[in-house]
Amino acid sequence: MADWTVDQLEEWDARIREIVEEFGLACHPQEFEICDHNQMLGYMAYSGMPSHYPHWSYGKSFEKLKTLYDHGVNGLPYEMVINSNPSVAYLMRDNSLLLQVLTIAHVYGHNDFFRNNFTFKTTNPEYTIPAFKARANRVRGYIEDPTIGLERVEAVFDAAHALSMQCRRNLAIYKETLEETRQRVFDAAQERPDPFRNIHAKREYVEPNLRRNPPEPDEDLLLFIRDHNPYLSEWERDLLTIAHEEAQYFLPQIETKIMNEGWASFWHQKILQSLELPASMSFEFMVRHNQVVCPHVGGINPYHLGIKIWQSLDERCSQNGEGRDSLFSIRESDRDTSFLRRHLTEELVRELDLFEYAPRGEEVLVTEISDKEGWKTVRETLIRNTGSNTLPVIRVIDGDHEGKRTLYLEHVHDGRDLHPEYAERTLAFVHQLWPTEVVLSTSVEGKQTELVRSDRGFSMRAA
């Protein structure tokens, strides 16, 4: 039985909003929905969206989450919050009053971050829920169409989901049209005016290959297939568009997980400390807060790492008499990669006792520690395994390689080889959407290699 009423939550929410404004947080209007554990499991399976298109993978996710929850292996989040305007958050009905108050404060931290961080500027939060609903309706229309049906729709989505994160990572950079790129490549190849050309060696003119498509490597794999495979039906192109748009919506959350959770945790702590809680709630707050931000054995807790960095920045601002303007500036202009590189200092790395480890045979060995020589290596390893840095970068090089309609792709190798099984299965999905030969250039154990998928199956050859 809950120890709170809706009227009480509204009163606490009003008090929290006043403190949020006093601290200078700038939020979208906030709405809350109270749900039970089954509803929360459903929202988790559908990434928090109240409306979403159907696909077998979401049912699988729900059954997995429910099984783990029913057997006590995993718990449920205290809340979920959607990047939308107005923002929507879900509160668990079984939470205590203190836990509801804490999560409401936490939600306002996320709300402020969603509204102000630059990576979310392209997500159009005012259209989030209508856009997801419109996509869901289109997909259900294709499923109900007797000429298309569920199996064909799910087959396209199987491939699209596997490839959807092979896209541009920095959405703040304008993407040129094909004509604009060709014009820029042509202009760059032209001879520049040189007042000293009489004494300078004449530069050899290299004619740009404007027939190649794309003129420059393109990271948006799904969009390239959508736009340049003439054998796709309009409904198939629409499904690829839907998968791409949803990946673009969730990408900023992947790119800012540490910053975002740290920011929300930092502010929920400040807000609850300002509420002057009664003693009974204060004790529970300390317990719940420490459960959220405590370090995890064998891995990184983004709440713990994020709040530690924000707290160190806040202390630095206080010592320098700067106020919190610089905190708001960092919140607006960074993503996890730059946030860690700029603000995870040597002192913090040592305080957090971070180290690097790797498997050696059947054992796991510590390969680097946070000493004077090794702390930067530890930080760089952490950065390489943060956000979308965990995903390989695959670029389209040529959509008509050697004039055979071969799709030629390039893996931007960063020292980590592709997982052979994943590479083979991913190329199978690419081939499903691009039915002629697909070639992926990569490096395998230091040797340039081409992975090939065609009607004859999968093969490897020296580049």
User: pLDDT tens digit string along 129-175?
Assistant: 999 999 999 999 999 999 999 999 999 999 999 999 999 988 888 88
- pLDDT, tens digit, for every residue of 434-453? 999 999 999 999 999 999 99
Whether the pLDDT of residue 194 is over 80: the answer is no
Share in percent of the chain as helix, strand, coil (round to 5):
55, 15, 35
Report the pLDDT value the prediction gives residue 188, as an integer from 0 to 100.
82
CA distances for 92 relative to 36, 165, 296, angstroms: 6, 31, 24
**pLDDT more than 70, % of the chain:** 100
- pLDDT, tens digit, for every residue of 370-403? 999 899 999 999 999 999 999 999 999 999 999 9
Most confident option among 138-147, 200-209, 272-281 = 138-147
Report the pLDDT value the prediction gives residue 298, as an integer from 0 to 100.
79
CA distance 349 to 320: 22
Contact 115, 56 (CB under 8 A): no
Report the pLDDT value the prediction gives residue 1, as an integer from 0 to 100.
57
Helix residue spans in 344-404 (DSSP H): 346-351, 375-384
Whether the pLDDT of residue 30 is over 90: the answer is yes
pTM: 0.92
Nearest to 386 by CA among 289, 279, 302: 302
DSSP three-state, residue 249: helix
Most confident option among 12-16, 47-51, 319-323 = 12-16
CA distances for 16 relative to 13, 113, 268, 279, angstroms: 5, 17, 10, 18
DSSP three-state, residue 245: helix
Report the pLDDT value the prediction gives residue 74, as an integer from 0 to 100.
85
| Chain centre distance of CA 21 | 28
Strands 30-35 and 79-82 come out as unpaired
Q: If you ran DSSP here, which 8-state letter would residue 256 be given?
A: T
Nearest to 50 by CA among 94, 101, 88, 11: 88
Mean pLDDT of 188-209: 79
Average pLDDT, the chain: 93
Residue 31, strand partner residues: 88
Report the pLDDT value the prediction gives residue 358, as an integer from 0 to 100.
87
Nearest to 81 by CA among 98, 59, 103, 66: 103
Contact 382, 354 (CB under 8 A): yes
